[in-house]
Amino acid sequence: MDTRDAPQLYLITPPEIELGTFPDLLARVLDSHAIACVRLSLATRDEDRLSRAADALREITHARDVALVISEHVKLSERLGLDGVHLTDAAHSVRATRKALGEDAIVGCYCGTSRHDGMSAGEAGADYVSFGPVAASNLGDGSFAELDLFQWWSEVIEVPVIAEGGLDTGLVAQLAPYTDFFGFGDEIWRAENPVDTLGALIAAMR
């Protein structure tokens, strides 16, 4: 019998955010639900825009004891006083990133649908591995992380795992016994009421 605790919540920012409004929205979500971590995942590679966004969100998250990581930008993570970095190159840079940021930093790794990449990331020192998307779509080659990947991981591997991408209440209910975190992004931010939408997704875990 699976005795793991209910999955924790991991939020992923939209690829574009409005600094005049998004921090307040994020604060409302964090004040309404228990969130473990927020990932700043902007499409821009402009250092000034990334830095201003990180500064704004760090003020919100750290005031609530919520970790804040940034996608890919290892040096910015360290310079801006963030809690770590989320890598997107499977396992290739985990070891070097861990060395650069130290043992206390969060180093996470997106591994798509690859069991092998996930294992490699864990062996290299990743704090968590994320798989996704969890539903078929017309994006990329259409591949997705199936339920059996999470079932196998939960039985064999101790490194925490995140399910992300294409989540809905049905998939959340299926995956809840086998994942440590759910990574919610567009699923809530595109909704009219992100707080209520996240509440419905949380209810589906039970």
User: What is the tens place of the pLDDT at every residue in 14-59?
Assistant: 999 999 999 999 999 999 999 999 999 999 999 999 999 999 999 9
**All structural domains of the chain:** 8-204 (3.20.20.70)
Confidence at residue 5, expressed as pLDDT on a 0 to 100 scale: 81
DSSP category for residue 59: H
- Rounded Cα distance between 50 and 53, Å, is 5
Determine the average pLDDT of the residues in 185-206.
97
Q: In this structure, is the dihedral angle defined by the CA atoms of residues 87, 202, 36 and 123, taken in order, positive or negative?
A: negative
pLDDT digits (tens, 9 = 90+) for 65-117: 999 999 999 999 999 999 999 999 988 999 999 999 999 999 999 999 999 99
Confidence at residue 4, expressed as pLDDT on a 0 to 100 scale: 58
- Rounded Cα distance between 111 and 98, Å, is 17
Spatial neighbors of 187 by CB under 8 A, at least 6 apart, are 167, 168, 197, 201
pLDDT digits (tens, 9 = 90+) for 164-176: 999 999 999 999 9
Bridge partners of 128, per DSSP, are 108
Determine the average pLDDT of the residues in 146-175.
97
Q: What is the pTM of this model?
A: 0.95
Residue 138 pLDDT > 80, yes or no?
Answer: no
Residue 3 pLDDT > 70, yes or no?
Answer: no
Q: Enumerate long-range contacts of 20-23, CB under 8 Å, 24 or more apart.
A: 22/56, 23/56, 23/57, 23/59, 23/60
Q: Answer with the residue of higher pLDDT: 57 or 3.
A: 57
141 pLDDT tier (thresholds 50, 70, 90): confident
Confidence at residue 147, expressed as pLDDT on a 0 to 100 scale: 97
Residue 2 pLDDT > 70, yes or no?
Answer: no
Residue with tokens 């339920």: 147
122 pLDDT tier (thresholds 50, 70, 90): very high
- Angle at the Cα of 65 (from 63 to 66), degrees rounded to 5? 105
Residue 182 pLDDT > 90, yes or no?
Answer: yes
Determine the average pLDDT of the residues in 188-197.
97
Please choose, from the candidates 91, 163, 106, the residue with its C-alpha nearest in 3D space to the C-alpha of residue 131.
163
- Rounded Cα distance between 65 and 168, Å, is 27
Contact 204, 167 (CB under 8 A): no
